[in-house]
Amino acid sequence: MRRREFGIAVLAGWAGAAVAQTGGELQGSGLVGTLESPALITDPTRFPQQFQEAPMLAEQVRAGRLPPVAQRLPQDLMVIQPLRGVGKYGGTWRRGFIGPGDSENGNRLMSADKPLFFDETGTKILPCLARGFEVSEDGRRTTLHLRRGLRWSDGTPCTADDWIFWFEEIYTNKDLVPAPAAELTLKGKPARLVKLDEYSIAFEFDDPYFLFPYLLAGDTLIGGGHTRQQIEGRAYGIYAPKHYLQRFLPSHTPVDALTAEARAAGFSTWAQLFLFKCDWRLNRELPTLAAWRMVQPINTQQWVLERNPYYYAVDSAGNQLPYIDRIQMGLAENPEVVNLRAIAGEYDYQERFIDLGKLPLLVENQQRSKYKLHLDLGFNGADSVLFPNPCYTDDREIAALLGQANFRRALSLGIDREQLNEAFWLGLGTPGSVVPAEILPESPGKEWRTRWSMHDPAHANRLLDGVGLTRKDREGYRLRRDNSQRLRLEITVAQTLSPTWPQQSEMIVQHWRQIGIAADVKVQERSLALTRGRSDQIQIIIWTNNGTESLYLYPRYALPVDPTAGVMGNAYALWFASNGARGTEPPEPEMRRAHALLRDAAGQREAERHRTAQEIWKLAVEQQWGIGLVGLSPAFMGVRVVSDRLENVPGRTGISQHIRTPWGAHPEQWYFR
């Protein structure tokens, strides 16, 4: 079979939203299941009254090292009705990761540390650390009600003081957070955080901010605790363990003493020591609120998490969760090794790095390796995007070209997306621009999927001639306008989620030869690539726009707004995030308009926000700030390999960025039979 024929054979018949995406071409495969998730029981009258715990914790209680389970649980429980049935305790979840730069692999497993969360559809806000929230009628105040009796993993109470501590002593410290979080600034005016009582806090703004609860639930700089505090040397988050971290601040310990302690530990400054102390990936001592706590750090061969004895959730029968004792992530040299190990049955649940192109082998080996294959469909426009860096400055000629819309359009028109789709998506993706699926209310419409996104070398050549690249060498490559040397671009590939990004980039290089553009592909370790991106040292990077299907929750891959992203022009992002205090103001009026629209949306109600998002997407496509390739597929963490022994796993789960797969499927209620 041809790759596309095989894909259609095994994926035939996607239902629901998938039919809308594929035009009804595919019919009944069994690999795309029903979108589902365990239910949260919020009625206190239905809460269990008796509690049980894992055997490993019961032993510690008998030995006097832990208090009884009833004393470890909060008054305001999270009660989860398991997806298919009450489970049993024990076991180790085997998983793969690809090194110290693969932080997100673990962050997604710790997402119980979020203030609020989304349901499996990605549209409804659910409680998480906060048992509830409310927004004032004028939209200027959002109140969070925390779970009473909540405790850190070391048994210390977690209260409103931990949120105030982060806001007043960490967030405002420029040594720790040099650039403010855009989510905590509205129209240039910062938020205020007010403690109402021991378990209630309020975020106050001078203008309406109806979007704010969605940002607390999304994968934003404030949409988590420790999983946001280790972003490239900045202590973002929204709360922190005051009892543990305050000692490492100059406001509580003399700076000379902290500096001496830092140097003894191998750091140059107290701030570096502090950032290590609040990095959950590296510091075993750091208390957590997640279902598991780290016991072996990311910079080892085995990154290991172990159950949190104070986790705040129980099942409907009163069993403290999680059921699984440990998560063990084994180091793999690269994504290809992850795929080989998954096919061999060495993982219990793996969706990260699994390559859609391996689908024939994955299907073929299910029975032999004792796993089930699941496919989850995405609604983001592009699993792969080329992001030309408008802030690149190392080469003036290339910088000037990357800053021109017609040059970016020409690069887009020079790409044969159908060939990419056939080669790397088994023909099952949708070629086109960066806009989300048409069934979503933020989509600007079907015609925007193909705008500037069809293979049209003739049009591309006319655009390149129009920007002054009219001269060519004997091999047909275009010459620079400044020194008559061959123009040569560079595509940076971060060794990360998609194992085929290097090959996709090489194919694009071949496409560009037809329009006289020479390019090289440079594969780098993820951390290095993004560090260079944050300093605007890259020309073009291939990445994804996963998450932008909910534009306001994850705009970092639609517009340069997040100075931690490293893919869209950091100087512009820093300008936006700092409200013009730092960075560089975009010279393009279209970019400035898109930024203004994004700011205005925060105070708009839902229907108006959707219309604003459509206008932003039109600008993004027209200007080709991101050159979309192929999307609307299961390629981005939507190919799941699940052990036959693992129970309570959904047939289909949401893979939007803000659903934090695999956490959106509530793995604390998974168990081994």
Where does the pLDDT of residue 20 fall: very low under 50, low under 70, confident under 90, or very high at 90 and above? very low
Enter the tokens of residue 411: 């690069």
Positive or negative, the CA dihedral 556, 549, 605, 129 is negative
- The whole-number pLDDT of residue 631 equals 94
The pLDDT of 489-493, averaged and rounded, is: 97
Q: Are 339 and 356 in contact (CB under 8 A)?
A: no
Enter the tokens of residue 523: 């594969």
- The whole-number pLDDT of residue 30 equals 80
- The whole-number pLDDT of residue 577 equals 84
**Cα separation, 649 vs 158, whole angstroms:** 30
**Eight-class DSSP state of 662:** T
Closest CA to 426 of 360, 357, 366, 379: 357
- The whole-number pLDDT of residue 14 equals 34
Strand partners, 489: 519
State the Rg of the chain over Cα.
25
- The whole-number pLDDT of residue 589 equals 97
**Eight-class DSSP state of 52:** B
**Element of type H or E holding 523:** strand 518-525
The pLDDT of 648-653, averaged and rounded, is: 96
Where does the pLDDT of residue 227 fall: very low under 50, low under 70, confident under 90, or very high at 90 and above? confident
- The whole-number pLDDT of residue 232 equals 58
In percent, the amount of the chain with pLDDT more than 70 equals 95
576's CB contacts (< 8 A; 6+ apart) are 182, 559, 560, 561, 583, 595
- The whole-number pLDDT of residue 514 equals 97
What are the start-end ranges of the E strands in 218-350?
A: 292-296, 302-307, 313-315, 326-331, 349-350
**Eight-class DSSP state of 664:** G
Q: What is the pLDDT of residues 25-41, one digit of tens each?
A: 333 568 989 999 999 99
Please determine, for residue 10, whether its predicted confidence score (pLDDT) is greater than 70. no
Positive or negative, the CA dihedral 621, 626, 628, 634 is negative
Q: What is the pLDDT of residues 258-311, one digit of tens each?
A: 999 999 999 999 999 999 999 999 999 999 999 999 999 999 999 999 999 999
384-631 shares the fold of 39-325+654-672? no
Note the CATH architecture for domain 384-631.
Roll (3.10)
- The whole-number pLDDT of residue 233 equals 64
What is the b/e burial string over 239-252, where b = at least 16 CB atoms within 10 angstroms of the residue's CB? Answer: bbbbbbbeebbbee
Where does the pLDDT of residue 13 fall: very low under 50, low under 70, confident under 90, or very high at 90 and above? very low
- The whole-number pLDDT of residue 25 equals 38
Superfamily of domain 39-325+654-672: Dipeptide-binding Protein; Domain 1 (3.90.76.10)
Q: What is the pLDDT of residues 416-464, one digit of tens each?
A: 999 999 999 988 899 999 999 998 899 999 999 999 999 999 999 999 9
Q: Are 650 and 635 in contact (CB under 8 A)?
A: no
**Element of type H or E holding 671:** strand 671-672
Positive or negative, the CA dihedral 345, 346, 352, 358 is negative
Counted residue by residue, the chain has a size of 673
- The whole-number pLDDT of residue 444 equals 97
| Mean pLDDT taken over the chain | 93
- The whole-number pLDDT of residue 23 equals 34
Residue whose structure tokens are 């005016």: 189
3-state secondary structure 332-373: CCCHHHHHHHHHCCCCCEECCCCCHHHHHHHHHCHHHHCEEE
- The whole-number pLDDT of residue 366 equals 97
In percent, the amount of the chain with pLDDT more than 90 equals 84
The pLDDT of 157-164, averaged and rounded, is: 98
**Cα separation, 665 vs 302, whole angstroms:** 24
- Cα-to-chain-centroid distance, residue 77: 27
**Eight-class DSSP state of 626:** S
- The whole-number pLDDT of residue 603 equals 93
- The whole-number pLDDT of residue 28 equals 52
Determine which of 172-181, 240-249, 601-610 has the lowest per-residue pLDDT on average: 172-181
Please determine, for residue 22, whether its predicted confidence score (pLDDT) is greater than 60. no
Phi, psi (deg, nearest 5) at residue 304: -125, 135
- The whole-number pLDDT of residue 578 equals 83
The full set of domain ranges for the chain reads 39-325+654-672, 384-631
- The whole-number pLDDT of residue 489 equals 98
- The whole-number pLDDT of residue 586 equals 97
Please determine, for residue 81, whether its predicted confidence score (pLDDT) is greater than 50. yes
Please determine, for residue 8, whether its predicted confidence score (pLDDT) is greater than 50. no
The pLDDT of 227-244, averaged and rounded, is: 82
- The whole-number pLDDT of residue 230 equals 59
- The whole-number pLDDT of residue 179 equals 78
DSSP 174-231: TTT-SS--GGGEETTEE-EEEEEETTEEEEE-SS--TTHHHHHHSSSTTS-SGGGTTS
- The whole-number pLDDT of residue 563 equals 87
